[in-house]
């Protein structure tokens, strides 16, 4: 289905992928893994055609459709549901043609195709996907422009899933999802019927949703069978065997070289020595396993300050003239606190962190900081605001004015930046490398409090592990917002729930919170489905209302009779339409060409009759509306 042959791609003459080969088959569910900057997202852009390779080629079966999360989504007043529906270009084009086509045979073909692609159930399917990703029913007609960047990415994800292409490419789809959205996405992808190619640093997602792994390493693409756990095990075994073979060859080589060195000068042994020297040159040597340079984070330790670091009293938070996002906040943060903020996206977690960081003023109430408090604040938008023309060294030097070059480079080295990366332009760094740079920048002065808003976005699995270890070794306070359950469980010892416009301690653990959000979602769905029935009025008022209703029914009886007849006639025509569509959907229908043409002609005429009858029904309805208002 998808074949990559001798693929090479370079950025600024630096090879990212070089002479890579891999073949992916129909129906496979492939996880693409590798260190940050290895070239995973670049590979996706090459597959989609957004980038052109410097060498080699990528071939995809021309009959297979390719889908991925698009960044160039329509803006303005386009409703969310329409944005998702528009992702199915064939359906959109057929419906547009249907508006102007008059040839009954072509109309029949269009309806047959719409029936084949389940076009008429599309709004329902799109609504279910949006609901699974956290959108409420009343939001589906909201304009896309009303959403923040993270929520727009959810719409983009919904559009990609709705297309249900033959090959679905997803690059870190969980980055903008809360725990509830991640649970839904895992279930959806686990049952995806076509080929799935997924970049993710979420071990649980990779284990649940993949059956093959492509490892991007040393500019190569290496294919493994099985999920992520199987890949790790097999890779460790292969590396162990490779190292043993290398050591065995080195021993053999040393023995042969020793013989050559001893007897090369002796005439009686010269031929043997020369023969062994040639054998040495012909040996197909196995490379040693180069130990992965593990990413390490080291947060500098702050001096201790008296508690509380921060005290918040009766604070309300909001933006502009809009209603408050959070009200009545009364909390404190001490030096030894490890706090995780829980709550669905949009409830106010980032708002609270911005306030604590001093980026948002309270509407009322107060916040008190202990003297000499230093705060380090990490958020994804900050990585986007860095000057792409600078290098990590220049960025760090700018905030460490007066410090020697060695000190600046040492700070960067604590976060995995070697000399080459320190001199690479920020615009050429991967998302994970930019995140690591931001960690280095916010912690250079040993802050007493780290505020981390989704710090694991774009970090690979090894980097996430390094961050957990660094935070657990750090002696200051931590407040974290993260959709990575593993990080929350291993770092936080206190949970604050942001829900219903308030902030309160949550006494349960993460498992109980997961059940809490799922139960809440189910209750919301039940409320949406439940049709509220008006309460029966009692006494004389009810009797009077019944009499008025009866008089109206008698007065409008002829009009209602006309409307009822129009509805019944229309229902008969629609029923006939469905019967013919079912008949035309059968493969055997087109075997009898004359009969097929006759039925298609009748079908086209039927569609015209339906249009006429709909006009009759609408006219009858308008008569009733006019009579009621007069």
Which residues neighbour 430 within 8 Å (Cβ) at sequence distance 6 or greater? Answer: 36, 37, 41, 458
For the chain, residues with pLDDT lower than 70 are 71-75, 241-249, 252, 255-256, 259-260, 263-295, 518, 521-522, 524-557, 560, 563, 585-587, 590, 621, 624-630
Q: What pLDDT sits at residue 433?
A: 86
| Terminal-to-terminal C-alpha distance of the chain | 66
Retrieve residue 599's tokens: 């039925």
**Which of 343, 347, 350, 355 is closest to 379 using CA atoms?**
350
Q: How many CB atoms lie within 10 A of CB 178?
A: 20
* Pairing of β 338-342 and β 494-499: parallel
Strand order in the sheet with 338-342: 375-379, 449-453, 477-481, 338-342, 494-499, 502-505
For residue 262, what are the CA distances in angstroms to 273, 277, 280?
A: 9, 12, 15
Q: What pLDDT sits at residue 379?
A: 87
- Residues facing 67 on adjacent strands: 168
The answer to whether 361 and 409 are in contact (CB under 8 A) is: no
Q: How far apart are CA 130 and CA 152, in angstroms?
A: 11
The sign of the CA dihedral 78, 84, 89, 91 is negative
Retrieve residue 297's tokens: 């984070």
Q: What pLDDT sits at residue 290?
A: 43
The answer to whether 481 and 353 are in contact (CB under 8 A) is: yes
Q: In sequence order, what DSSP letters do the residues of 16-35 get, joined into one string? A: EEEEEEEEE-TT-EEEEE--
Retrieve residue 570's tokens: 């229309």
């Amino acid at each position: 289905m998808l074949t990559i042959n001798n693929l090479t791609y370079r950025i600024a003459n630096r090879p990212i992928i070089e002479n890579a080969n891999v073949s992916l088959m129909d129906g496979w569910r492939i996880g693409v893994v590798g260190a940050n900057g290895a070239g995973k997202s670049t590979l996706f852009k090459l597959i989609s055609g957004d980038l052109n390779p410097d060498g080699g080629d990528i071939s995809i079966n021309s009959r297979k459709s390719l889908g991925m999360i698009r960044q160039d989504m329509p803006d303005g007043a386009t409703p969310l549901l329409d944005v998702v529906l528009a992702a199915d270009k064939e359906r959109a084009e057929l419906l547009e043609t249907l508006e102007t086509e008059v040839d009954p045979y072509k109309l029949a073909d269009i309806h047959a195709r719409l029936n084949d692609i389940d076009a008429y159930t599309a709004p329902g399917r799109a609504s279910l996907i949006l609901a699974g990703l956290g959108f409420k029913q009343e939001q589906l007609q909201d304009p896309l422009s009303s959403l923040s960047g993270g929520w727009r990415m959810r719409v983009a994800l919904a559009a990609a899933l709705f297309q249900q292409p033959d090959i679905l490419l997803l690059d870190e789809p969980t980055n903008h999802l809360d725990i509830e959205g991640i649970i839904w996405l895992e279930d959806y992808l686990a049952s995806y019927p076509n080929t799935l190619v997924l970049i993710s640093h979420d071990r649980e997602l990779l284990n649940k949703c993949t059956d093959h792994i492509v490892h991007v390493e040393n500019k190569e693409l290496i294919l493994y069978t099985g999920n992520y756990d199987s890949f790790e095990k097999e890779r460790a075994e292969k590396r162990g065997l490779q190292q043993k073979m290398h050591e065995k060859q080195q021993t053999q080589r040393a023995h042969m070289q020793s013989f050559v060195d001893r007897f090369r000068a002796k005439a009686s042994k010269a031929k043997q020595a020369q023969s062994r020297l040639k054998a040495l040159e012909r040996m197909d040597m196995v490379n040693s396993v180069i130990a992965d340079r593990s990413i390490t984070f080291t947060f500098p330790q702050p001096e201790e300050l008296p508690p509380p670091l921060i005290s918040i009293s009766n604070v309300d938070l909001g933006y502009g003239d809009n209603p408050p996002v959070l009200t009545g906040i009364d909390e404190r943060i001490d030096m030894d606190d490890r706090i995780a903020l829980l709550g669905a996206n949009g409830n106010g977690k980032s708002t609270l962190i911005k306030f604590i960081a001093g980026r948002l003023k309270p509407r009322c109430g107060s916040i008190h900081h202990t003297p000499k408090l230093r705060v380090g604040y990490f958020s994804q938008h900050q990585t986007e605001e860095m000057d792409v023309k600078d290098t990590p060294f220049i960025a760090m030097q700018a905030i460490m004015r007066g410090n020697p070059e060695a000190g600046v480079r040492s700070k960067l080295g604590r976060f995995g930046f070697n000399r080459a990366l320190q001199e690479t332009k920020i615009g050429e760094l991967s998302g994970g490398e930019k995140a690591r740079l931001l960690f280095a920048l916010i912690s250079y002065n040993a802050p007493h409090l780290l505020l981390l808003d989704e710090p694991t976005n774009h970090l690979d699995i090894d980097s996430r592990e390094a961050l957990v270890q660094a935070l657990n070794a750090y002696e200051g306070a931590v407040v974290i917002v993260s959709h990575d359950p593993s990080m929350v469980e291993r770092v936080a010892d206190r949970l604050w729930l942001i829900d219903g416009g308030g902030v309160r301690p949550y006494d349960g653990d993460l498992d109980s919170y997961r059940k809490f959000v799922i139960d809440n979602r189910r209750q919301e769905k039940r409320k949406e489905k439940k049709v509220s029935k008006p309460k029966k009025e009692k006494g004389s008022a009810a009797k009077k209302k019944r009499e008025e209703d009866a008089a109206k029914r008698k007065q409008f009886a002829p009009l209602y009779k006309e409307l009822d007849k129009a509805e019944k006639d229309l229902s008969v025509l629609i029923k006939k339409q469905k019967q013919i569509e079912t008949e035309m959907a059968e493969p055997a229908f087109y075997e009898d060409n004359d009969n097929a043409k006759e039925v298609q002609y009748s079908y086209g005429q039927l569609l015209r009759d339906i249009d006429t009858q709909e006009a009759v029904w609408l006219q009858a309805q308008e008569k009733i509306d006019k009579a009621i208002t007069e």
